[in-house]
């Protein structure tokens, strides 16, 4: 009988096969991953599904009893267009709704506001009043359909509209089922679609907790989101730690407002991103359940339901590529499997074209069917927690628990997440991770197939969905005017005055902002009017990005192409008598600033003088800033499809000031079909998803008259 091989024997054989090369590797989270795991690496008992701490799932039967909910996130153009899209998807197998609102709505502006000319209907559906909300759910019974709404800044008017729309559909608010995101701390860290400063924003969350716990027992009052953290560049450990810490902060605010922790904590839910690190994402969801159980136990929850982390997941938007886009179907499938194997309660799968545009019906069908195929063709749902007991998964789960707990303990030691966000260190930590990731991709250390390796010689144009922003805005303005002309103006003014007075007073049942907003919504006050009524007391919050330094440059030490660009910057500096100056501009209401911050950080590291403009500027404000700061180049960062409206306005404004010498370049989510339009408008450089940042800088130097040598075969990367 042959002796059983030992671990030492395996190690000797493996080292012989790889000629002594180490097979260990370190993740961006700082976790060392070994090539082989054994029972000795499992240090924690994962328990059983349905039992605390819920490592293996929140329900004993999990998908063997009922599959996760297919909840596709969608919304665009008008309420009519979005309603038709929802009804087609529901007929084709979708089980729940998830509403995407446009940026004007997110930021509390009606569609007729001058600051949102380029934003209306572009990155979600425009909602200005109860009438829009009623159309959005026309023919969709709200007593039978679970509805998730991604809304944080304008959460009070949107939730009020939803409640009144349900009432006028004949559905009592007690029967409304679904989730409102309502996660403002994440907005201050990464996504930036806030309206008010942190303190009144947290009061809004407490008021929503109080109202929904009394009036809407089936409704989840918050979805605590890590998704946008990972999209902004956070590692999985950072996403995990800050999301759980945010949740703890919200619970404390709820308790401080007088709520019984076990009366509302069971209605909290979570939202995580699922990226391409397959096993890491599976382990992350398992670790999240362990950590939440620990946190809620420490906060005094008694009911096990209060300690049970239930989550929605969405496949990664950042992992989608403009280049060779059909690879995105593969990426989304892998990410969907990771979410399923991690134990999500509902899932959105991204469409293949979402790197550059809103999904078409064609791409949306593939994305939805990805989940249906996994549920109905693979047999994966027939076993509860099929990867439970995997030595690697169990060890990785514990590694994530330990690493995330270190960050959570730092947050707690410094007074909680609200204070940490105010201090700025979580945002800085995420931005450092984003810059480091960009450098790894640009150097092809992190491979992206079709982008920085195996790239096609020629790319075929992909048919994409385009929203006619002007047409949508005109139709929204017409409806706003119709609503205002038909309403009882005195009743509407009285309801708004009551809301205004409530915002000026401390929170109480009588001054509950959501309850007051419901009355204003019923009187046909618009979203902008409701938001403005609260803004009089709360004020509007604004911020200017502060890019990190040195992180992007660090991996390039000794790199010849990097040195060429740095020398080029110095040559331009000698010629001008100063450093070449770049303004990174964020126009419109899009707050996603990962790309803008990475560019600002990288160009600063290469020697440019970089001005990071405030978020949410108009083209006119950007012109003024460009002239005041004396820049040579304005880089317009676009994500939310406003580029065809906002960038030409910027160029026109510079020309009117006699400064057509200032170069305008554009980067971000811009469909290739729009490149000629932008060039005709005067844009001198366009850098879409996948552009290598070092080569982008080299191109800017050429625009400034420096004869940069070509990069040879340098590959592009996002």
User: Over 380-391, what HEC string results?
Assistant: HHHCCCCCCCCH
10 Å CB burial of residue 428 (0-12, 13-18, 19+) is middle
- Strands (DSSP E) found in 316-358: 346-348
Do 313 and 347 touch, CB atoms closer than 8 A?
yes
Q: How far apart are CA 651 and CA 664, in angstroms?
A: 7
DSSP string of 141-180, one letter each residue: -TTT--EEE--STTHHHHHHHHHHHHHHTT--GGG--EEE
**What's the maximum distance between 2 C-alpha atoms anywhere in the chain?**
94
Do 524 and 161 touch, CB atoms closer than 8 A?
no
Q: How far apart are CA 446 and CA 551, in angstroms?
A: 16
Report the DSSP beta bridge partners of residue 346: 69, 312
Q: How far apart are CA 689 and CA 666, in angstroms?
A: 11
Angle subtended at Cα 146 by Cα 140 and Cα 147, rounded to the nearest 5 degrees? 80
DSSP-derived pairing of the beta strands 32-33 and 25-26: antiparallel
User: Over 528-561, what HEC string results?
Assistant: HHHHHHHHHHHCCCCCCCCCCCCCCCHHHCCCHH
Q: How many CA atoms lie within 13 A of 213 on its CB side?
A: 23
Q: How far apart are CA 60 and CA 393, in angstroms?
A: 19
Q: Six-digit token pair at 201?
A: 């924003």
Q: How far apart are CA 542 and CA 318, in angstroms?
A: 25
Task: List Cβ neighbours of 5 (8 Å cut-off, separation of 6 or more).
Answer: none
Do 427 and 421 touch, CB atoms closer than 8 A?
yes
Residues identified as active-site: 73, 227-228, 586, 590, 592
DSSP-derived pairing of the beta strands 222-225 and 32-33: unpaired
Task: List Cβ neighbours of 432 (8 Å cut-off, separation of 6 or more).
Answer: 548, 551
Neighbours of 567 (CB within 10 A): 14
Q: How far apart are CA 284 and CA 403, in angstroms?
A: 11
In the block, residue with structure tokens 């139709």 = 475
Q: How far apart are CA 193 and CA 154, in angstroms?
A: 9
């Amino acid at each position: 009988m042959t002796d059983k091989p030992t671990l030492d024997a395996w190690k000797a054989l493996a080292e012989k096969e790889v000629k002594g090369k180490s097979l260990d590797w370190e993740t961006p989270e700082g976790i060392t991953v070994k090539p082989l795991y054994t029972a000795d690496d499992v240090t924690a008992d994962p328990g059983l599904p349905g039992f605390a701490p819920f490592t293996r799932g929140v329900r004993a039967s999990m998908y063997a009893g009922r599959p996760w909910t297919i909840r596709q996130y969608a919304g665009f153009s008008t309420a009519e267009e979005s309603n038709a899209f929802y009804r087609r998807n529901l007929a084709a197998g979708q089980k729940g709704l998830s509403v995407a609102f446009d940026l004007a709505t997110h930021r509390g502006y009606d569609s007729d506001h001058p600051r949102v000319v380029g934003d209306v209907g572009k990155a979600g559906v425009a909602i200005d009043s109860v009438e829009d909300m009623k159309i959005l759910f026309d023919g969709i019974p709200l007593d039978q359909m679970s509805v998730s709404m991604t809304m944080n800044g304008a959460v009070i008017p949107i939730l009020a509209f939803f409640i009144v729309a349900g009432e006028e559909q004949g559905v009592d608010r007690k029967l409304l089922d679904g989730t409102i995101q309502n996660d403002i701390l994440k907005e201050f860290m990464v996504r930036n679609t806030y309206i008010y400063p942190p303190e009144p924003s947290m009061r809004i969350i407490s008021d929503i907790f109080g109202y929904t716990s009394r009036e809407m027992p089936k409704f989840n009052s918050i979805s605590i989101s890590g998704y946008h953290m990972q999209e902004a560049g956070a590692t999985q450990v950072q996403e995990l730690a800050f999301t759980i810490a945010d949740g703890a902060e919200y619970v404390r605010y709820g308790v401080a407002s007088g709520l019984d922790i076990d009366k509302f904590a069971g209605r909290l839910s979570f939202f995580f991103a699922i990226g391409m690190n397959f096993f890491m994402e599976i382990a992350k969801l398992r670790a999240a359940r362990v950590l939440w159980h620990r946190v809620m136990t420490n906060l005094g929850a008694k009911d096990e339901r209060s300690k049970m982390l239930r989550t929605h997941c969405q496949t990664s938007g950042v992992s989608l590529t403009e280049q060779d886009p059909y690879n995105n179907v593969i990426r989304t499938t892998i990410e969907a499997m990771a979410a399923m194997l991690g134990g999500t309660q509902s899932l959105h799968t991204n469409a293949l074209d979402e790197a550059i545009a809103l999904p078409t019906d064609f791409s949306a069908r593939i994305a939805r069917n990805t989940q249906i195929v996994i549920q109905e063709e693979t047999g994966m749902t027939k076993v509860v927690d099929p990867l439970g007991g995997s030595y690697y998964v169990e060890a990785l789960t514990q590694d994530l628990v330990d690493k995330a707990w270190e960050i959570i303990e730092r947050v707690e030691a410094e007074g909680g997440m609200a204070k940490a966000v105010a201090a700025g260190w979580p945002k800085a930590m995420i931005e450092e991770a984003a810059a480091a990731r960009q450098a790894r991709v640009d150097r092809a250390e992190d491979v992206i197939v079709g982008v920085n390796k195996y790239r096609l010689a020629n790319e075929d144009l992909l048919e994409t969905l385009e929203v006619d922003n002007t047409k949508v805005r005109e139709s929204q303005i017409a409806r706003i005017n119709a609503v205002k002309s038909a309403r009882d103006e005195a009743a509407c003014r009285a309801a708004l005055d009551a809301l205004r007075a409530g915002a000026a007073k401390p929170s109480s049942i009588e001054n509950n902002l959501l309850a007051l907003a419901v009355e204003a919504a019923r009187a046909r006050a618009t979203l902008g009017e409701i938001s403005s009524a609260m803004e009089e007391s709360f004020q509007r919050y604004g911020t200017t990005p502060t890019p990190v330094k040195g992180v992007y440059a660090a991996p390039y030490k000794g790199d010849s192409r990097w040195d060429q660009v740095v020398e080029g910057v110095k040559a331009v500096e000698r010629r001008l008598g100063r450093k070449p100056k770049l303004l990174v501009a964020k126009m419109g209401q899009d707050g996603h600033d990962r790309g803008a911050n990475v560019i600002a950080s990288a160009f600063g590291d290469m020697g440019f003088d970089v001005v990071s403009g405030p978020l949410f500027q108009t083209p006119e404000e950007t012109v003024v800033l460009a002239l005041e700061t004396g820049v040579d180049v304005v880089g317009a960062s676009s994500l939310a499809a406003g580029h065809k409206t906002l960038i030409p306005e910027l160029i026109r404004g510079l020309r009117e000031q006699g400064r057509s010498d200032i170069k305008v370049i554009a980067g971000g989510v811009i469909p290739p079909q729009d490149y000629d339009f932008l060039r005709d408008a005067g844009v001198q450089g366009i850098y879409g998803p996948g552009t290598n940042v070092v080569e982008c800088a080299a191109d800017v130097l050429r625009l400034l008259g420096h004869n940069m040598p070509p990069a040879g075969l340098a590959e592009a990367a996002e």
